[in-house]
Chain A
Amino acid sequence: MLVSAAGPGPALAPRAPSAALLRVRGPWCRRGGRLCSPAVCSRRGSRARRCPAMLALLLCFSPPRSSKEEEQLQPEAGSSNGQENKPSPKELEELELLNRALEKVLKVRKSILKTPLEAQGATGEKSAGEGPAPKNAEKQQVPVPVEDVPMSTKVRAVSKRPASLKKPSPYQLKAPYRTDPEVKKLQRKALSRCVSRGPRTAGKSSSKGVVCKQRRSPTRAVSASDREVCAPAEPQKAPGSSRSALNAQQSFSIEDSVGEKNSVAAGRQLLDAGKKSCGFLGESSKKENPTAEGALGRSTSPRRVTLQEKGCQLKLPLPYRKAYFRNSRAWERCRLCQTSADAAAARNRFIERIQTTFCSPRPAFSPAEVEEELKVLQDVLSLLSQYMEAEFADHPTLQREYESLLTLEGLQTTVSQCLRKLQLLQAGVEAQRRLHPDCAVDGGSCFPACVPSRGQMCDTAGMLAVPLLCYSSFQELRDLFALKLQVSMLHQEIALQKVMMAELLPVLEAWPCPEASAVQLYRAVYTQLCEGGKRFPVLMRDELAD
């Protein structure tokens, strides 16, 4: 008889006694939180901030003499953390104009695509396009998917948490219209590009929307809802500006919540993200220029030029160019400058003399050198393992086999060399331990992780050269970024794994009397520790059928 099936954790509220058993003592969550928050959040924040800025550059590259309204285009999505203002009639008017613009856009789009999403989105959009009255409907519709999201994510969450999610208040024109001028400008420009962009991008965005909609898994839900929210108001994938801006906001709201370990706050934040995104999009029609014609009129004017068109003719402003030139020439001179013989001789004399005053006998390795050698040995070890694994395969010819034999013998010598070196290093560590100044500094804070090796420090010219990282294709750049993230993520996972092992395993192993509900705990811990929280084991009751 199956006790429990594989799948997301028990969403049923367990009874009180077994609930107690499911508790795990320990401060791990604090530690885990410490591990999670800085790494992820700082990255998200900085990335989120930069995307919209880059978009602005790409989209609307007007010459600098254009109006002051272009100033402060760096959207500070962080500052947008929700001030709910009541929209003024003027804003409503502008929203109406936006809706009309959207109508036009949608007509173009509809004529090309016949996907199911379009129908769905179109209903939302159409309602948006039908003037002020259905505006409420649009906004009503929009928060609904957002509502679903917290629910679905909650399915996996602790259901017996006392505080429950607040239902979002209906959007009776109380949408939190953001009055950030920067964000408005971004969206306005995005919109202006919208109109002139071809329907091709429309196709892309909607198909993406389809994909998202169809995969209603909890973890995807939020991003899906983002796109849905996107869809009604921003049908074109004006280079993902809205989405990225959304991400920006969303990331900030989630960022805030990472600090808190409270699920409730998180759910609410997701909601707020949705709300904000609504307001954000509604915002997009605002014109900060009170004298211009309609938003529509502006958006169709072809005054803005994209970076794509003007990019290769751009010139840096003169003062910057001069400063840059001087700077790079100075760097070059410094790089080529060599230590004169006199200086080198005098310096070496001084160093020798001062080193005679060091306590003798001097240890063979300084702590920095020990760490460096250790890193080298670790690299050698991984290389050795790779070579060895290559030799596991069977070799067809006699020559290959001979070669493999020789290789293996060579590897063996290297391993012995490494082991000998390790012994030397250990002796060095012990020597340093004796010399350790009586200043108990926390190991982590003092000793640098990213310091050039001794060899690099001798190569001062190399240090002063311009450090460039050259990539040759978009794919490469993407792989680079993805891999870096992956490595960071793995570091974090390993650290978390160690922490959890240290905390959870002793609890289970010291179990005095296993009960029925201990099984649930076992299953949860098993999943967490052995499957990375992704897959669940099946627990079967071992009963013989009578």
Chain B
Amino acid sequence: MRHQPRPSPRPHEAMQRKKAEADHREKKPKFCINDHIDILIEILKRLDGPSLGVASSVCRLWCTIARSDSIWEHLCFRHVSSPPPSSLRTIVVALGGYKQLYMVCVRPVLSRLLHSDLVRSRVWTRDEVQLSLSLFCVDYYERRLLGDTSPSSLMFLCKPVNV
């Protein structure tokens, strides 16, 4: 093969090549969390309730994830000593979902129990889970029977604790 002398680059071609290089540099992986939903979920799973609420205002993707019940399920049982039975999910979903369970029941119960025990990082026992669920169930039933304006049996959970 005869060696052909390289033609000298014309200005137009030089500019195109430079642009291609620049584009190539830009396309190098810049980490965007929204591209990695599994990591995002892992992070959001570890937030507390109020932070999850804030997170849901960031963007649509975060909103969808932060509102999904599975994240709240994780939040509800984060402190439980033994994993909850698998049949639990159907029931909680039927009664209004994990987010509802957390807002209406788990959060006030936990804060009340933690406050009275004066121990901060305490594992929540299975009995306490059961009690919360029962209270949640009664509340659900009351709303169905008597309407949303009925006295909520969970109002007592919102009362300030006598010190």
Real binding pair = no
- Chain B interface residues toward A at CB < 8 A: none
